[in-house]
Chains A and B, each alone.
Chain A
Amino acid sequence: QKEVEQDPGPLSVPEGAIVSLNCTYSNSAFQYFMWYRQYSRKGPELLMYTYSSGNKEDGRFTAQVDKSSKYISLFIRDSQPSDSATYLCAMSGPYDKVIFGPGTSLSVIP
């Protein structure tokens, strides 16, 4: 079993839809949870950065962490064609390396 699991997709949604992206993990030591977006031929770009359980909102993006279930989610409201990219979850324990999920490819259709 991989440390971090993520549905690879591809996920295709119409413009304006709410998108839900999810990751599960096995290491209970993880305390820091991140979401990155990666466009083709570019490096990943940090979207959300949360510590421990709870919700965090930033514009159209909401990150949720449920440590009891070892499950994290990223919600995108009012999705736009410019949101078409690969979304990577990432997580780490204190002072440890950051582990990335395999990524979910998202296409938002105009």
Chain B
Amino acid sequence: KAGVTQTPRYLIKTRGQQVTLSCSPISGHRSVSWYQQTPGQGLQFLFEYFSETQRNKGNFPGRFSGRQFSNSRSEMNVSTLELGDSALYLCASSLGVGDYGYTFGSGTRLTVV
């Protein structure tokens, strides 16, 4: 079966711009979580969605937002990009609440210049 699909794979943006990243979970998975991965901070939790509702949120500024659609696909948006937002953004899906066996996508590599 198809895995978790993240698009695009690579992005280069300029400071001050905004960006939208997309994640299509495994068919039947209803929970989607987003993480930011950097060499210095490792995997940092951004947010988790289930049935179009945000269930958990990490300690990121309000410039980071997300949503989930009725088909479980999810998007995250970063507005007013800063150089420090350069990172690998990973999406993970699972069956639902209480299922911690995540399947990750390959990520979107965002570079802010």
Residues of chain A having any CB pair with chain B under 8 Å: 32, 34, 36, 41-46, 49, 88, 90, 92, 94-103
Contacts and interface: CB of A to CB of B under 8 A. Distances in A.
Interface of B is mostly: strand
Interface residues of B, number: 22
Given A43-B104, A94-B98, A99 B45 contact: yes
Given A97-B45, A97-B58, A101-B42, A92 B90 contact: no
Interface string B85-113: 00000101000011011111111000000
A44 B104 contact: yes
B55 to A, nearest CB: 8
By Cβ-Cβ distance, the 4 closest A-B pairs, closest first, are A43-B104, A100-B43, A102-B42, A97-B56
B100 A34 contact: yes
Contacts of B104: 36, 43-45
Interface of B: 4, 33, 35, 42-43, 45, 48, 55-56, 58, 90, 92, 97-98, 100-107
Given A44-B92, A44-B104, 9 more contacts: A34-B100, A43-B107, A46-B103, A95-B55, A97-B33, A97-B56, A97-B58, A98-B45, A101-B42
A42 B106 contact: yes
Given A43-B4, A100-B35, A100-B43, A95 B106 contact: no
A42 B55 CA distance: 26
A41 B33 CA distance: 19
A88 B43 contact: yes
A103 to B, nearest CB: 6
Contact of B105 (A43, A49, A88): A43
A42 to B, nearest CB: 6
A32 B100 contact: yes
Given A43-B90, A44-B90, A103-B42, A98 B33 contact: yes
